[in-house]
Structures are given as structure tokens and as C-alpha cells.
Amino acid sequence: MRLKVHLIIFIYWFETLLFAAEAGMPQLDPKYWFSQSFWLILIFLLLYLLISKFFIPKIKDNLDDREKKIKDNLDEAKKLSELAERKNLDYENEISNAKKEVVKIITESKKQLDKNINQKKEQFEKELEKEIKNAEKEILDVKRDSSKSINLIAEEISAKIIEDITGNKLNDSSIKASVAEVSKNKMGKYLW
């Protein structure tokens, strides 16, 4: 039947191939075709099982692991850099605050110092004024005293001189009156 025809064709083809093999192409020698197919399928299957069950998951694990680690590290780095930035900002704020504080302290102490100095100055001036007043008063006293004593001295001297010259005593009251008159008129000329 048809099958037989096919078989004959196949065998014919086979023979041709055998001939070709003898002519120089060992690839067309069907002697070891089954053996080659068998071993190919066996070895390939084993290799496939080993690779798909063992090696590929491992390589994939390694790759995923690395990618994840790199990603994590990058995230961490980003977080840290943000943190650093924030910290930096904080420090800068602190520094500017401190600067402001320092300025404030300086102005305040300056003000305080000014105030102190003014106070001291005022006190000193007050004291000085008092001293001056005292001194003026003393001077005035001395002046008054001295003018009084001058009057006395002048009276006595006048009395003596008059007594010496005239030989008689003038009464004290008239001398006193003339001295007073002179001093009244001339004292300003001598003392102030």
C-alpha cells in the first residue's frame, strides 16, 4: 500500500545518503544517527533540567539581590544626604540666631555701660557742685570774717594812730562809724 511506497522512498533516500557518506560526507552516514539523537536528547534534557532548576534561579537571585542592594544603598544615600542637608540648615539657623543674640548682647551691654557712665557722671557732677558750693560758702565766710577782722584791725589801727598823733582818745564808736563808712565805700575796691 501507500505506506510501503513511503518506506521504499525512505530506503531509497537512505541509500542515496549512504552513498553520499561514502563519497565523503560522514554527516550523511546514518549509522550513528539514532545514537547521536539519543545522546543529544539525553544530554540536552539533563542540561536543561540543571539550568532551569538550579543555575538560572541562582543567577536571578544574585542579580535581584544586587539590584535591590544598590537600590537600597541609593535610597539610604539619598536619605542621608537629605538629613545632612537638614542638619546643615539647622546649623546655619543656629549660627544666625547666635549672631543675632551676640549683637543683642553687645548693644545691651553698651547701653548699660552708657547708663552707668551717665549715672556716675551725674553723681560726680552733683558731688562736684556740692563741693563747689561748700567751697564758695567757705570762701564767703572767710571773706565775711576777713572783712570783719579788717574792719576791727582798721578800727584799732585808726584808734592807735589817732591816739598817737593827737594824744587823745577818740571814742570807739566814731572810729567804728568812719571805718565802716570807708570799708563800705572802698571794700569793694580791694576785695572784689
Partner 1 sequence: MDDNNFKTRLRIAKREILKKDANENNKRGLFLGSAFRLGTELVAAVAVGTIIGFILDNWFDTKPWFIITFFFIGVIAGILNVVRVANNMQKEDK
Partner 2 sequence: MAANPMHQFQVYRLGPEIKLGNVDLSFTNASLFMFISALTICIFLYFGSKQKGIIPGRLQLIAELFYNFIAKMISDTAGSKAKPYFPFIFTLFMFVLLCNMIGMLPYSFTVTSHIIVTLVMALFIFIAVTIVGFIKHGLKYLSIFVPKGVPVVLLPLITIIEIISYLSRPVSLSVRLFANMMAGHTMLKVFGSFVISLGLLGGWLPLSFSVALTGLEILVAFLQAYVFAILTCIYLNDALNLHH
Distance, CA of 171 to CA of 189 (rounded, Å): 27
Provide, rounded to whole angstroms, the least separation between the CB of residue 57 and partner 2. Answer: 9
Closer Cβ to partner 2, 26 or 174, answer by number: 26
Provide, rounded to whole angstroms, the least separation between the CB of residue 30 and partner 2. Answer: 8
Assess 166 for contact with partner 2 (CB under 8 A): no
178 Cβ partners below 8 Å, 6+ apart? Answer: 158
First to last CA, the chain: 175
Cβ atoms 159, 170 nearer than 8 A: yes
Grid coordinates belonging to 102: 551676640
Which residues, 59 to 98, sit near partner 2 by CB under 8 A? 59-60, 62-63, 65-66, 69-70
Among 6, 110, 120, 184, binds partner 1 (CB under 8 A): 6
Distance, CA of 63 to CA of 140 (rounded, Å): 113
Among 31, 58, 78, 144, binds partner 1 (CB under 8 A): 78
Residues that bind partner 2 (CB under 8 A): 24-41, 43-44, 46-48, 50-52, 55-56, 58-60, 62-63, 65-66, 69-70
